[in-house]
Amino acid sequence: MATSDTYARTRRNSLTESLLGILGPMPKQSSGRPATDGEGRLLVDGELVESSSGERFENVNPATGEVVGQVADGSVADLERATEAARRIVDTHSWSADGPFRRHCLEQLADAMDRHIVTLREALVTELGSPVRLAAGVQVDPVPDKIRHIARLAESVTDTTEMPDDARGPVVQGRRIEREPLGVVGAITPWNIPLDIAMAKVAGALAAGNAVVLKPAPDTPWVPALVGRLAAEETDLPAGVLNIVNSSDHSLGARLTADPRVDAISFTGSTATGRKVMAAAAGEVKKVHLELGGKNPSIVLDDADLEQVVPLAAALGCFNTGQSCILPSRLLVPAARLSECVELAALGMESVTVGDPWDGGTFMGPLVSALHRDRVLAAVSEGLTEGGRAVVGGSEPGVGPGYFVRPTLVADAPEHGSLVQEEVFGPVVALQPYEDLDDAVRLANGTRYGLAAYVWSSDEQRAGAVASRIRAGMVGINGGLSTAADMPFGGVRHSGVGREWGTAGVEEFLELKSIAVTRFV
């Protein structure tokens, strides 16, 4: 028994180091303590301002439950002013016609973010509870280069395409296709990845020549407000091109969606809210881009090295405390080796280090709020009531003063039960056995979602064949992820409409115009 315990402990330690390696190295520049002076003003028509109402709301550190600052609570009047400023730019300014200037401004913003990267990173760790290594490796530090990639597209995305002449007897039609911006884009962003997601929308829309009104989630307000300060103080962005209105009033998002001055809405959030956004936009028949939820399968094929793959595949469901729409929340394993896979998956979940996000040895921090913690625990409790079995973790909160939960692995969850069918948005993984390859694909496609999927195999060609059968916008093979600046990000079915990042992410914010000129010969 002692030998077995020693082996398990050694294996857990090795897995923990592997997981921390995925986050990246500990950043050299870090104070190691929560920020206390984050930006709290709105960016409206080029000015950094307090709310017109004078109201502010509290920003809370989820690792401790303590209030760390105050943020201007944007009002209807502030949103009105921001929307009017964006409309003015679209209707009267040369912004949309000057691709080189748009590139210049976006590159200025990226450079400013690099100069203030520690401030941005520490604000995110403080208000989201993201481990500092995750913030540096994924959440914050890569974003400036992603913006630069999009900035380079600003000079070419609106190029005209000349088409071959259409000759019809004595008449010739000269033809071309022009690309032009949509106009005013309303961007509504979530709290879980507050910088990257906001910049996917802002950079894509601005590169295409639009003006933007950004309504961030109130749970993580400092990061977008800091972007507003950098835009106002360290770039040549014309006043009104970018407006950022933090608010605790969720109805502002609905107001922005229905506003006839707004030509398009780009929303990231839950599928339930996405449906409401689509319905609200229908009254004005405006373009809608939606990046919604996921219930993503991770399929371990029977030829994979189970001992190496299963623990890692399970533990990845705890990345960002499970608060990401693309994470694997369903682990599909061969039924013939179910008992072994349950043990290996449990080992993986037990290798996840939970605690202080400023500690370089922490893989998983707290959930973003007490409200969200209670939602996650209630979802787990419901799943256990339906017949699921908690192998690791469960429906009790984690330790500490903040909003912590335990990594949770659930076996025996019914195929049509809530833990298999509904997004939990926490570090909860449901393990499902499959009989054969066809059954694995059936289970993978057995939810209403279609955002991401993962396939693990020693045979890349076989894994690719499985990937082609999965209904999802993105598939990672043996740990691959489609999250680079030049790769389109998005899903199908109830996971959304449209794409972010890459050329496709800029083209989302463009309209096509066909022009034909008749010439008599």
| Four-CA torsion 105, 111, 112, 115, nearest 10 degrees | -170
Strand ranges across the sheet with 184-188: 47-49, 42-44, 242-244, 211-215, 184-188, 264-268, 287-291, 496-497
Q: Which tokens in the block code for residue 54?
A: 């004078």
Q: Is 318 labeled as catalytic in the residue annotation?
A: no
Q: Is 66 labeled as catalytic in the residue annotation?
A: no
- CB-based contacts of 85, cutoff 8 Å, min separation 6: 44, 45, 46, 211, 239, 240, 243
- CB-based contacts of 260, cutoff 8 Å, min separation 6: 284
- CB-based contacts of 115, cutoff 8 Å, min separation 6: 234
- Residue pair 247/71 in contact (Cβ under 8 Å)? The answer is no
Q: Which tokens in the block code for residue 421?
A: 């069918």
- Residue pair 195/201 in contact (Cβ under 8 Å)? The answer is no
Looking at the DSSP assignment, which residues form a beta bridge with residue 288? 265
- Residue pair 205/187 in contact (Cβ under 8 Å)? The answer is yes
- C-alpha dihedral sign at 392, 395, 398, 402: positive
Q: Which of 39, 122, 127, 291 is catalytic?
A: 291
**Residue 111, SS3 per DSSP:** helix
Looking at the DSSP assignment, which residues form a beta bridge with residue 515? 176
Element (H, E) at 298: strand 296-300
Q: Which of 127, 325, 500, 507 is catalytic?
A: 325
- How far is residue 334 CA from its own chain's centroid? 31
- The span from the CA of 152 to the CA of 131, in Å, is 31
Looking at the DSSP assignment, which residues form a beta bridge with residue 22? none
- The span from the CA of 521 to the CA of 517, in Å, is 13
Q: Which residues are catalytic?
A: 291, 325
